A = this chain, B = another copy of it.
Amino acid sequence: MALIVQKYGGSSVGTIDRIRNVAQRIKRTCDDGNQVVAVVSAMGGVTDKLIGMAGELTANPPERELDVLLSTGEQQSIALLSMALNELGVEAMSVTGRQAGIRTTGSHTRGRIEDIQPDFMCSQLEQGKCLVVAGFQGITPDGMIHTLGRGGSDLTAIAVAAAVKADVCQILTDVDGVYTCDPRVVKNARKLPEISYDEMLEMASSGSKVMQSRSVEFAKKYGVLFEVRSSLNDNPGTIVLEEHPTMENVVIRGVSIERSQARVTITGIPDEPGMSAKILCALGDAEINIDMIVSNIASDGFARHSFTMHSNDLGRAQAALKPLLASIGPDAKVETEAGIAKLSSVGIGMRSHSGVAATMFRALGEAGINIGMISTSEIKIAVTVDETRIEDAARAVHDAFQLDKPPVA
C-alpha cells in the first residue's frame, strides 16, 4: 500500500460536478490499495470573487483580514470534497491548514512554510482515514490565519507529502506532464518520463509555468518525489526527482520559452565598485523581477549592464532608474528594448558534455535568427531573440538536440 498525496487545483474542483469527479478519482486510487491525502485549492473563481468583494469595500484591505477572507475558499472545498468522498463510501475528513499543523512565517498574504507538525494528520491516517487538506493556508507563530500566495497549494502538497512521509506526491493539473518544449509551439515535443529537480527549476524559471520554483525547491530540499500529471485522464505524467546517474545520458532535457520580455541597458557606467549594487537595489526597491543580467566593459572604457524583465515592468523600471542616472555618472544613459523573448536549453547532461552552446547557436544561425543577450548557468543556456522569431527558434533548437526522440539508454 502506498501513501499518495494528490493535489487538485481550483479548476479541478471548480463546480459541484467536478468535485464529484475528483472524489471518484480519489476513490479509484483508494480502491487500488492506496491511502490518499488530497490537497485542494478553492473552487475556481471563488478567490477572485472574494477579492472583488474586498475591493468594493477598500482599495487597501488589511492583509491580515485578506488572509482570513481568502482562506475560506479552501475551507469550503475541503468540506465539500470530504462530503463527496463520504457519499462514495470513502471515510474522509477535512483538515484545515491549522489542523494540518502548517506553521508559516513571512508577511500576511505571502506566507512561507516554516514547518509542519503532522501529529493530527498522522493519527487520522493511522485510523485509515482519507484526508482532505486545505491548500494555500497555514498559521503564523501567534496563531493567525496565513495564506501562502500564488502557487501556495502546490507548496502545501509538497510540504504535506514530506511531513507524512508519502511515497509520492501527484500534482494533478491541466497539462499531461512536463514536455521537451511547449507542444503548442513544437508539434513533436515529447512528454518527459522524468526530470531532475534542478532541471525543473530551470524550466520553471524559464517560462515552463507548470509549477512555481519555490514548490520545486521545497521538494528538492526535503527529497519529495513528485509527479506532474493530468487531472483529466490516467496517463502517467512526469516524475520530478533527485538526479541519478542514467539521467546524464540526456544532454538537453528540454527547451523553454518566455515571451513578453523587455531589455533595459544602462551605458556609460564608470568602472567602479558598487555601481551594479546601486542599480539592482533601485530595481529591487521598485519590486521589479529581474531575470537575465549581462554586464561587460564596452570599448569606450565604460561598463554597460543589461537586464531582462517582463515587458509589463518596463515602465516602472525606467521610472526607477531615471533619478539614479545623475548619481551614476555624467555619461550614464538608459536604453530599452521591448518585443523580445527568451529561449533556454536546460539539461544536467550539459555539465559533462561539451559543444552544447555551439550546437544551439548554430541551429539558430542556420534558421536566420539573431541572438541578443546570452546567459548561462551550469545546466542552462539562455538567449534572447526577437519575439516574432521565438517559435522558429524553439523548433530549430528542439530539432538540433533531437528532443523528439527518446534518449538512447
Contact = CB atoms under 8 A, between A and B. Distances in A.
Interface of A: 16, 19-20, 50, 53-54, 56-58, 60-62, 64-66, 68-69, 71-72, 75-76, 78-80, 82-84, 86-87, 93-94, 96, 98-99, 120, 143-145
Nearest to A59: B87
B16 A57 contact: yes
Given A65-B79, A69-B83, 8 more contacts: A16-B56, A54-B83, A57-B87, A64-B94, A65-B83, A65-B93, A65-B94, A66-B79
Contact of A86 (B62, B72, B87): B62
Contacts of A94: 64-65, 68
Contacts of A79: 54, 65-66, 68-69, 72
A54 B80 contact: yes
A144 B20 CA distance: 25
Given A75-B75, A83-B62, A57 B145 contact: no
Contact of A58 (B56, B65, B72, B86): B86
A82 B58 contact: no
A57 B21 CA distance: 11
Describe A's contact surface by its main secondary structure: helix
Contact of A76 (B60, B72, B98): B72
Contacts of A65: 79-80, 82-83, 86, 93-94
A19 to B, nearest CB: 7
B76 A50 contact: yes
A99 B143 contact: yes
Contacts of A69: 75-76, 79-80, 83
A278 B54 CA distance: 56
A68 B145 CA distance: 15
A79 B99 CA distance: 21
Contacts of A86: 58, 61-62, 65
Given A87-B57, A96-B145, A68 B78 contact: yes
Nearest to A132: B65
A225 B84 CA distance: 44
Residue in A20, A58, A79, A80 whose Cβ sees the most chain B Cβ within 10 Å: A79
A96 B20 CA distance: 30
A50 B43 CA distance: 13
Contact of A84 (B58, B71, B72, B96): B58
A50 B46 CA distance: 13
A330 to B, nearest CB: 47
Contacts of A144: 99
Nearest to A56: B16
Contacts of A80: 53-54, 57, 65, 69
Contacts of A71: 75
A138 to B, nearest CB: 15
Residue in A50, A54, A66 whose Cβ sees the most chain B Cβ within 10 Å: A54
A253 B1 CA distance: 70
Nearest to A73: B72
A65 B75 CA distance: 10
